[in-house]
Structure 1
Amino acid sequence: MLVRMLYVSRATGPISRASVDSILAQSRAHNPDLGVTGILCWGGDIFMQVLEGGRGPVNQLYNQIVRDERHKDVVMLHYEEITERRFAGWTMGQVHLEKLNPSILLKYSEKPVLDPYAVSGKVSVALLEELIQTAAIIGRAESTRVALASNQ
């Protein structure tokens, strides 16, 4: 059974490009073996991530994230059983939200900043779907696997 899960968290320390690259590398290396796809959005001290795949692997990854000391204020925003993936093209795509046109963020929230804690999970999923349509997500899965470290 396939599920889609969306969570948000705050970083416990400063988010550097290197730390995000490390998280993405870990995800891209191990998610294919788990059958997990998704995207990671980040901006300021916020991480927002969608994970899609089998219920067991998605739940296991989420539990690892909750225990990861790099995260705090971890909140599951959306969880649903699905018949097909929306983020199947990404072993772990990425969006740096501070580089987006603020009008896209403003379309889905009161202010042109990312604050998934202030909107519903469905609104956050709608934002991510728009990011796919506008090609704002980078890091599509390639036919060859990148051999790096594990997710979280």
Structure 2
Amino acid sequence: MLVRLLYASRQSDPSTSATESILSQSRSHNMASGITGILCYGGDIFLQALEGGRKQVSELYGVIQKDPRHKDVELLLYEEITERRFGGWTMGQVNVAKLNMSVLLKYSETPELNPYSVSGKVSLALLEELMATAAIIGRA
């Protein structure tokens, strides 16, 4: 059974380059586990979608909750799916600082990434638009 999990977190130490570390680790681990997804980051906030088998995604989310690079981990959406939306990426990435701010304003009150202030469905819609507009890089 396939599932999609969407969560938000904050970078524990914004002075470090946790994003590159997370991406590197995700890309090497996720392929073997059958997990695909996308990581969107801006400022110290991460928004990540994970797709794969229920057991694998749930186990990975448990690891993320304990990862010292993350804090304020919050589950935004968990659903059974019939097909992957982010199947082409072991972990695609979006740097919000390089986006046109109107994309963020379309889904939020302010031109900043803040998945804590919107629903999980809205955050997923943002990720889908980023995918449709080719704002995702790192198609590893």
TM-score, length basis structure 1:
0.89
The separation in 1 between residues aligned to 2:15 and 2:55, in whole angstroms, is: 29
Q: Percent identity?
A: 68
CA RMSD of the aligned region, Å? 0.9
Q: Deviations over 1:8-44 (max 9, x none)?
A: 001111154x431121111111101100000011111
Q: Which has the higher contact order (CA 8 A, sep 6+)?
A: 1
Deviation for aligned residue 1:90: 0.3
TM-score, length basis structure 2:
0.97
Q: How many residues align?
A: 140
State the secondary structure of the residue aligned to 1:89: coil
Q: Which residue of 2 aligns with 1:38?
A: 37
- Contact 2:94–2:137 at 8 Å: present in 1 too? yes
The separation in 1 between residues aligned to 2:126 and 2:66, in whole angstroms, is: 27
Q: Which residue of 1 aligns with 2:109?
A: 110
Q: Deviations over 1:65-91 (max 9, x none)?
A: 001111111000000000000000000
- Contact 2:18–2:69 at 8 Å: present in 1 too? no
Instruction: Please list, as runs of the form range in 1=range in 2, the aligned pairs for 1:73-152 lying within 5 A after superposition.
Output: 73-141=72-140
State the secondary structure of the residue aligned to 2:10: strand
Which ranges of structure 2 fall in alignment gaps of 5 or more residues? none
The separation in 1 between residues aligned to 2:9 and 2:19, in whole angstroms, is: 14
Which ranges of structure 1 fall in alignment gaps of 5 or more residues? 142-152
